[in-house]
Amino acid sequence: MPPGTMKSLKVISIALIASALTAAAAPRFALVRVKDIYSSLQSTTALQERIKKDRDQIMRDQRADKLRDIISELQTLQAQLSDKDKPLDEMTRKTLARTYELKRQEALTLQQDFEGFQSEQEKRINHRMVASMRESLRRIVDVSTKVAKERGYDSVFDSSGNTNTGVPFVLFSKDAPDITGDIQAAMKDGETAMASDKNESSGAK
């Protein structure tokens, strides 16, 4: 074999080895859509239903019912006092005006009381919502990490998230695998197991 050919083969061999080493060392990335995963969780649906129920319960508080009744009475009194087709005599007008003012003061006091109650209840609801969201996100991170390690990925990025400046966290990706479905399946299995354990614990008591 001519010396020049041997030299060329050595160069090609070295280039192939370097290419192989580079390819082996290249990090493997995957994408997940955390928002979609969170929305699909049974715990998220249950939380939303619980929050709606709690907020509906706030509006069924007796203070809210009484306030609505007083507002209705005020509207009726206002209509009587301003009805030009049925003018009132001076005595009746003064009596209704006095009643209206007393009802208005009662409504203001009751409104302040109810708003304070509503504010405290909303704080409680928000605290529970934040705690639940953090727990769900923690589980999503844990499961994503586990699945990524099992699949041999070096990094996983949230393609549904934004940076602090409001731009998408992942600006561009070419052929990066999306493992959202795998994470959702693993999360569903985990929630099913948790629900089963909870039912067994409740039955044992």
Could you read off the pLDDT of 104-142 as tens digits, one per residue?
Answer: 999 999 999 999 999 999 999 999 999 999 999 999 999
Give the contacts of 43 (CB within 8 A, at least 6 positions apart). 132, 136, 191
Higher per-residue confidence, 172 vs 51: 51
Return d(Cα 202, Cα 161) in angstroms, integer: 38
Interval 10-16 mean pLDDT: 48
DSSP-assigned beta bridge partners for residue 31: 157, 178
161 — pLDDT class (breaks 50, 70, 90): confident
Look up the pTM and report it.
Answer: 0.69
Give yes or no for residue 193 having a pLDDT over 90. Answer: no
The beta strand positions in the chain, using DSSP E, are 29-32, 155-158
Interval 46-58 mean pLDDT: 94
Return d(Cα 21, Cα 39) in angstroms, integer: 41
Higher per-residue confidence, 51 vs 193: 51
Comparing CA positions, the residue from 140, 152, 129, 132 lying closest to residue 180 is: 140
Return d(Cα 154, Cα 176) in angstroms, integer: 12
39 — pLDDT class (breaks 50, 70, 90): very high
> Which pLDDT tens digit goes with each residue over 68-94?
999 999 999 999 988 888 888 889 989
